[in-house]
Amino acid sequence: MQIQLGPFHLPTYATLLSLGLLGSVLISMWHGRRLGLSPILSFDAVLLGASGGLVGARATYVAINWAYYEQHLSEALRLRAGGLTWQGGLLLGLLLVGLYAAHRRLSLGLLLDALAPGIAWFNLFLWLGSAVAHDVYGRETFPTERLWSLSADLPDLYGLHAPRVNVSLLGAVWSGLVLLGLWLLRGRSSAPGALFLACLALTGLGGLMLVPLQANPVPHLFHLRLDSLFYLLLALGGPVGLVAQRFRARVA
């Protein structure tokens, strides 16, 4: 699928990722400046986080779907064809941002707060990209189910079409709501890291609602999908972190 702009034909998936990255950089630089960070620091941090995020997200997606890529190894590096697991990207991106903050002797919480709205923006475009690439697909539905109204004729990883829950569209809608929520919450707390923790909690909550609707294969641990466990950690980690912040502030 391509986007046509006059004589130019742009690959849709790559264009969406580029818009997500560009918007994430601009939003993070603007918000970082409001928090007292120089645009250069925010620019470096968001590029490090995004680069690590893309590498980690692609590597995680290929690992999860190794049964397919083992037979199609040449496609493993074709990022423009789609296929990102953002959980792996978040972990590697946060690691690089943490190392950058330590190297520049910056407050990690303040730096992550600057990146939080940009993360939500990028996550929105990742879901839109998934809607194009069909790398995350929902379970099959039937006219007698309530979820039928949220379904469409969509393919799975192997290109087999069936009425499926439009998970990618629902994910994009939720990411948009998270972005709006972070916009409304900005400046409400002076504790460094509070906005980022809110971003994690809201993202985890949305993921817990979306995972039961998905049908794409994911490894299990203790009979639970790994993405469910990851979203649970985010949904719980955000509030726990916020409570810990308030407790430390009272003790101080």
Mean local confidence (pLDDT), 47-58: 82
pLDDT level of residue 41 (50, 70, 90 thresholds): confident
Look at residue 14 and tell me if it is in a domain. Answer: no
Q: What is the pLDDT of residues 83-138, one digit of tens each?
A: 677 677 888 888 889 899 898 888 888 899 999 999 899 889 989 988 887 878 89
pLDDT level of residue 82 (50, 70, 90 thresholds): low
Look at residue 233 and tell me if it is in a domain. Answer: yes
Look at residue 145 and tell me if it is in a domain. Answer: yes
Percent over 90 (pLDDT), the chain: 22
Q: What pLDDT is stored for residue 51 in this prediction?
A: 83
Look at residue 68 and tell me if it is in a domain. Answer: yes
Domain span at 152: 19-251
The count of other CB atoms within 10 Å of the CB of residue 114 is: 28
Considering its fold, how many domains does the chain have in total?
Answer: 1
Q: What is the C-alpha separation between 145 and 163, in angstroms, rounded? A: 12
Look at residue 124 and tell me if it is in a domain. Answer: yes
Q: What pLDDT is stored for residue 3 in this prediction?
A: 58
Q: What is the pLDDT of residues 149-189, one digit of tens each?
A: 889 898 887 788 999 999 999 999 999 999 999 989 887 76
Instruction: Please tell me the pTM assigned to this model.
Output: 0.83
Q: What is the C-alpha separation between 246 and 83, in angstroms, rounded? A: 39
Look at residue 3 and tell me if it is in a domain. Answer: no
Can you tell me which residue has the tokens 């308030």? 246
Highest mean pLDDT among 84-88, 171-175, 212-216, 246-250: 171-175
Query: Does 5 score more than 70 pLDDT?
Result: no
Look at residue 11 and tell me if it is in a domain. Answer: no
Q: What is the C-alpha separation between 109 and 233, in angstroms, rounded? A: 18
Query: Does 223 score more than 70 pLDDT?
Result: yes
Q: What pLDDT is stored for residue 252 in this prediction?
A: 62
Mean local confidence (pLDDT), 58-83: 73
CA atoms within 13 A on the CB side of 30: 10
Look at residue 9 and tell me if it is in a domain. Answer: no
Name beta bridge partners: 163: 153
